[in-house]
Amino acid sequence: MTELLTSASAPGKAILLGEHAVVYGKPALAIPVSQLRVEVSIESFRCPANEIWIDSPVIRLYKNVKDLPIDNPLRMAVDLTIAECQNRQFPGLMIRINSALPIGGGMGSGAAVSCALIRALSGYLDGSSLSLETINRLAFEVEKIHHGNPSGVDNTVITYEQPIYFRRGARMEKVTVKEPIHLVIADTGINSATSSMVGGVRKRYEQNKEGYQRIFDSIETLVNNARKAIESGDISLLAEMMDENHRLLQSLEVSSFSLDRLVKTARSSGALAAKLIGAGGGGNMIALCTADTTRQVSQALNSIGAVRVFSFTLAGEASVT
């Protein structure tokens, strides 16, 4: 028998504009997707003191943490949390991880697991969770294993669970949503390793720095205009910026036939704009809709074989409903 000791959760995320360019010092606009969450529970477990087991059905893992490689993301999240906490003596524990987020779908599944795990484990060890700043810092260290050269945007938007304007190395800025923004996300069902996609862009960047820098500069302009659009309630301008961002991501060679097909379908069925989200290659796309077109866009995406489609609204004062 196990006993629930504490639990925590973390949302998914979507980058509205700026993926890939954010790795090169450009800004990005990111939002939490609070309907899709990772849930982590800490339970008592019949094993020796100071031992921790992990049960994560989504990746078919049931193992003692100490038997995982030292650079395994889950082990690192556990080790970093224990090192940060004052109480390092504890009975045998089980960490159970349940996730509604697609792996390799550009929605921050790895960062969400890290944030929820760090929050839950520190909450048990210290009696209260670490500060958001500390959780974000530790989760970023784990992100380096997942992605090699992460921007930090995933762990930041997930930790703080609010829309942000993010630039690597700069202080996060909250983005205020003036008018409701109706969004639809559709999954290609194709997993894509972020580290591989980021590495591919890096390789092509090294071969054509001038050309790629022009693309990154253009994306920066789009991001800044999109932020103004969100904060002023100019949905038409936001749509224009999102569509152009997808075109530039295509020029970075990170889109795919499956993503482009979903984007085209969303636009032709009434979406104001659509683009890939995340690293690309597979994963998800996001469509900007109106309250009246959300249902028909969702139905069209389902009809052409999207693996999963869901809609949500980013409302005023940056809440997600």
Residues serving a catalytic function are 154
- To 5 degrees, how large is the angle CA 189–CA 155–CA 196? 50
Q: Identify which of 160, 164, 120 has the alpha carbon closest to the alpha carbon of residue 137.
A: 160
Q: Identify which of 72, 57, 15 has the alpha carbon closest to the alpha carbon of residue 198.
A: 15
**Tokens describing residue 8:** 């925590």
Report the run of H or E that residue 199 belongs to, with start and end. Answer: helix 194-207
DSSP state of 42: E
DSSP string, 8-34: EEEEEEEEEE-TTGGGGT--EEEEEEE
| Coil, strand or helix at 39 | strand
For residue 25, CA distances in Å to 39, 174, 176, 216, 281 come to 32, 18, 22, 9, 22
Task: Read off the amino acid at residue 154.
Answer: D
**Tokens describing residue 269:** 């069925």
What is the spatial distance between Cα 250 and Cα 123, in angstroms, rounded to a whole number? 43
How many residues does this entry show for the chain?
A: 321
Report the run of H or E that residue 198 belongs to, with start and end. Answer: helix 194-207
